[in-house]
């Protein structure tokens, strides 16, 4: 198989030279190096072949564990981010305007950001999303 790959590569190189109008003469030293590389790869394949099944199974399981680990890390980060976003009090604050041009009349720079989590100007509003919805229901 490796010999086939090398033969294919050599054929491709020859075709490239033919197509580019360069005389189709390959450097004999390069050909010898490629053949040597092919022999080394073949020997390496012979050494690895008894363990190939184990290696493939190990790589497959490692891939599965890596995917599961990435999913867990992603979900944990998303949960942490969501918890942090829910700590921002601006949407429940009396000074929050809900207008992107001026989010807050007291501290518009930090309004709606994580910097507003412990805002000293926070004033609970009665016009919250919950109260608005409960009025609509009634």
Minimum distance between the CB of residue 92 and ligand SF4, rounded to whole angstroms? 8
d(CA 13, CA 23): 12
Give whichever of 6 and 116 is closer to ligand SF4, judged by the CB atom: 116
Smallest distance from the beta carbon of 112 to ligand SF4, in angstroms?
7
Is 90 buried (19+), middle (13-18) or exposed (0-12) by CB count in 10 A? buried
Helices (H), 27-51: 28-48
Between 39 and 87, whose beta carbon lies closer to ligand SF4?
Answer: 87
As measured in angstroms, the least distance from the Cβ of 115 to ligand SF4 is 8
Q: How far apart are CA 88 and CA 106, in angstroms?
A: 15
- Interatomic CA distance for residues 78 and 42, integer angstroms: 48
**Which residues in this chain contact ligand SF4 in the complex, by CB under 6 A?**
89-90, 93, 95-96, 104, 106-107, 110-111, 116, 119, 121-122
- Minimum distance between the CB of residue 78 and ligand SF4, rounded to whole angstroms? 24
Report the phi/psi class of residue 21: left, alpha or beta, with left for phi > 0 and alpha for psi in -120 to 50.
left
- Spacing of C-alpha 102 from chain mean position: 35
- Output 34 or 112, the one with its CB closest to ligand SF4: 112
Closer residue to ligand SF4, CB minimum distance, 40 or 105: 105
């Amino acid at each position: 198989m490796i010999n086939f790959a090398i033969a294919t590569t050599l054929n491709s190189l020859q075709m490239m030279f033919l197509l580019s109008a360069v005389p189709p003469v390959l450097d004999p030293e390069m050909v010898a190096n490629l053949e040597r590389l092919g022999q080394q790869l073949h020997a390496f394949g012979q050494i690895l072949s008894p363990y190939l099944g184990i290696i493939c199974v190990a790589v497959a399981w490692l891939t599965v564990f890596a995917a599961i680990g990435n999913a867990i890390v992603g979900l944990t980060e998303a949960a942490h981010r969501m918890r942090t976003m829910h700590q921002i009090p601006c949407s429940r604050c009396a000074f929050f305007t809900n207008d992107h041009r001026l989010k807050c009349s007291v501290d518009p720079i930090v309004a709606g950001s994580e910097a507003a989590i412990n805002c000293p100007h926070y004033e609970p509003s009665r016009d919250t999303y919950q109260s608005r919805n409960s009025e609509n229901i009634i």
